[in-house]
Structure 1
Amino acid sequence: MTNQTPGESRLFAQLRELHSAMDLAKVSYMLIGGFAVNIHGYVRATHDLDVMVLADDSDLLHDALRKLGYSAIDRRPDLACYFRGNDRLDVLYARRPISQRLLAQARHADLNGLSVPTISAEGLLGLKIQAFSDDPRRIRDLTDMMELVKVNRATMNLDEVRGYFRLFDNESILDDILKSTD
């Protein structure tokens, strides 16, 4: 189990431990998913960590996680899911040039003195529209997209965001989100 310090959440302790393990294993990663949504200004509950790593580093990551006591319950070429007790870690592998570029351009967020590589708000919206396009029942992703645009619209590169929505033939969703945040 994760070693929590007093006053530290289980999820943050998990992140701190993962960050150290990735540094030791020389695996570049960035936060995606709910924790990244929170970093970008829309605070919502999340119970797991989601990260992206280069596909070429999947075996290094797997070995590092096994040393921490994680077990892979699903491991595919594009993603993996690991558990250790109540700790869950979902991994998305960067294979395509767009994902690799997003990973290379990760921005560092300061979380209680820990500098954590995090996906850009634009990239996060790209992953959210991809997930929603794959499964429209993922209403949480739609809500995340609306709130992320509302909070970050003034500083966001909307041309980049539109490109992600266009990629999944869902520009109308972005148009609706933009209208709702006017």
Structure 2
Amino acid sequence: MPEHEEIFAPLLAALRDLVAWLQAAATPGTVIGGVAASLLGRPRVTRDIDALVLLDESEWADFLARGTMLGFVPRLSDALTFARQARVLLVRHEASGIDIDIAFGALPFEEEAVARAVWHDVGGIRIPLPLPEDLLIMKAVAHRPRDMADIESILAAQPKLDLPRVRRWVREFSSALEAPELLRDFNALVTRRRKRKK
């Protein structure tokens, strides 16, 4: 995985310390976003780290305090107030300068994604990543151009996917968010991928 390791070299110290933080805080979580998309799809440059964790709101202050002891500093003066509004804690790994966005999961799908996460070796460290199907669901819901490109990359790199499960969850989010384009666009990418394989 040398190509991956070259891309992730600047992120490795932050990833190592993030995993140490989650373990020290006994907090279940998984690395998502561009790092996960690069490892489960095609390698791409990413300058930050995204994680999804499961933690009751009453424990967020202690969680942040533990992270501070491990070299993570809030990017906002009112980081916890922002986290309560957006369910995202914005921190920076002080030693490397890498920004990390930690999403606090609460939905059944997020709980499933964290529970199903699998540990991967990257550049000599072990990090938890979601299953490709769960990352596809996250990307389909986020629905930015970069996410659509990541979906194509994951579909190309992962030939054996449980697409019915992905469609079920994307359909649920599509309905709950009143955003039919989520499912429509995901299905279009799957169809395009199948045509390319023929």
Contact 2:27 2:55 in 1 (8 A): no
Structure 1: 4+ residue segments shifted above 6 A = none
Among candidates 145, 151, 158, match of residue 139 of structure 1: 145
Q: Does 1:181 align with 2:159?
A: no
Matched ranges for 1:133-172 at <5 A: 138-152=144-158, 154-167=159-172, 168=174, 169=180, 170-172=182-184
Alignment match, 1:35: 35
1:16-63 residue CA offsets vs partner (Å, 9 max, x unmatched): 111122222222221100100111031110001111111315334312
Alignment match, 1:135: none
Alignment match, 2:177: none
Mapped partners of 2:42, 2:62: distance in 1 = 32
Residue type of the partner of 2:83?
R
Identity of aligned residues (%): 22
What is the DSSP-based 3-state SS (H/G/I as helix, E as strand, rest coil) of the residue aligned with 1:156? Answer: coil
Alignment match, 1:62: 64
Alignment match, 1:49: 49
Contact 1:58 1:93 in 2 (8 A): no
Alignment match, 2:4: none
What is the DSSP-based 3-state SS (H/G/I as helix, E as strand, rest coil) of the residue aligned with 2:160? Answer: coil
Mapped partners of 1:123, 1:60: distance in 2 = 28
Q: Does 1:76 align with 2:87?
A: no
- In structure 2, the gaps of 5 or more residues are 1-7, 175-179
Tell me by how many angstroms 1:165 deviates: 2.2
- The structure with the greater share of residues assigned to helix is 2
Residue type of the partner of 2:64?
H
Residue type of the partner of 1:158?
L
Contact 2:140 2:186 in 1 (8 A): no
Contact 2:41 2:155 in 1 (8 A): no
Q: Does 1:87 align with 2:89?
A: no
Mapped partners of 1:66, 1:176: distance in 2 = 44
Tell me by how many angstroms 1:84 deviates: 4.3
- In structure 1, the gaps of 5 or more residues are 1-7, 133-137
What is the DSSP-based 3-state SS (H/G/I as helix, E as strand, rest coil) of the residue aligned with 1:76? Answer: helix
Q: Is 66-75 or 113-122 further displaced after alignment?
A: 66-75
Contact 1:42 1:151 in 2 (8 A): yes
Q: Is 63-72 or 27-36 further displaced after alignment?
A: 63-72
